Amino acid sequence: HILSQPTMALLKLAAAAAVGAAAYVAVLKLKKIISAPKSITLTYFNIEGVAEKVRLALLLSGTKFEDKRITFGEWPELKKTIKSGQLPLLTIDGMEVSQSAAMLRWAGSLGDGSLYPADPMQRLKVDEMVGVQEDLQRAWTPSLYMGMGRHQAFGHPENFEGKDAIVKALRENFIKDTLPRFMKYIADAITASGGPYLCGSTVTIADLAMLPQVRYFGKGVADHVPKDTLDPYPEVKAWIEKIMTIPAVKEYYASL
């Protein structure tokens, strides 16, 4: 024998440990497969809204789900059956869950888990950027709701003559004063993390939350928010383009 007896013993031990580890990993994988939900349905309106990030997270985690889109006509009846009285609704093997932020984090933990990393420091960075998206959404909300005819919720009378002028002013101010601050936050995050995504070299739920929110402002679909609104922010436009060219994302948007 070229190898001494102690070396052989050590090699045998290492081989046994490797077999043990492989078996353990196999059991973990099997457990994951067995405990994976059999059926997942995401119910929302046929708009992007607050559910789009969840759709994207389920899609990119490789999770099969039913993307159920209801009409506004179907809503009043369905509303009565939902504890929160709101959509989106996520149904996991019959269990019903509300709140898109919770759904996003759950969906991001599926698959290989890379969309919502388990490492506390990485997770902190991801959650920080999810928070920035929530701030951006909140900043836009008065403009949106006023335009949707919810002006009474902001203290205006039912028949409110000055509504259109207020909506115009709110949206123009948003583009001039609020949007630049958020666009800088995004561009700085890409630079600080090394890019090309918000939190580094891989896509996370932060990108998936931010994408629909920011893309919306460049679509020209909201009054007083023209299509060229994002033109002053080339870094942000490049980041959008980067995500939109991920094959699964590209295929999804092409299929709608």
Ligand X SMILES: N[C@@H](CCC(=O)N[C@@H](CS)C(=O)NCC(=O)O)C(=O)O
Site for ligand X, rule CB under 6 A: 49-50, 79, 86-88, 98-101
Least CB distance to ligand X at residue 239 (A):
23
Please list, in sequence order, all residues whose beta carbon lies within 8 angstroms of the beta carbon of residue 26, skipping any fewer than 6 positions away: none
Residue 141 or 202 with smaller CB distance to ligand X: 141
Going by C-alpha positions, the residue among 85, 4, 87, 10 that lies closest to residue 42 is 87
Q: What residue spans of 109-226 are helical by DSSP H?
A: 120-147, 163-173, 179-193, 205-216
In whole angstroms, the minimum distance from the beta carbon of 121 to ligand X comes to: 26
CB of 98 to ligand X, least distance (A): 6
Residue 137 Cβ vs ligand X, minimum distance, rounded to whole Å: 9
Q: Which is nearer to ligand X, 74 or 164 (CB)?
A: 74
Q: For the purposes of burial, counting CB atoms within 10 Å of the CB of 62, is it exposed (0-12), middle (13-18) or buried (19 or more)?
A: exposed
Q: Please state the closest distance from residue 133 (CB atom) to ligand X, in A.
A: 11
CA angle 121, 49, 239 (to 5 degrees): 50
Nearer to ligand X, 53 or 171 (CB): 53
Give me 189's structure tokens.
């995050």
Half-sphere exposure in the Cβ direction for 48 (13 Å, CA): 17
Cα distances (Å, whole numbers) of residue 156 to 79, 152, 171: 27, 5, 17
Please, which residue, 101 or 169, has the CB nearer to ligand X?
A: 101
Q: Whose Cβ is closer to ligand X: residue 39's or residue 141's?
A: 141
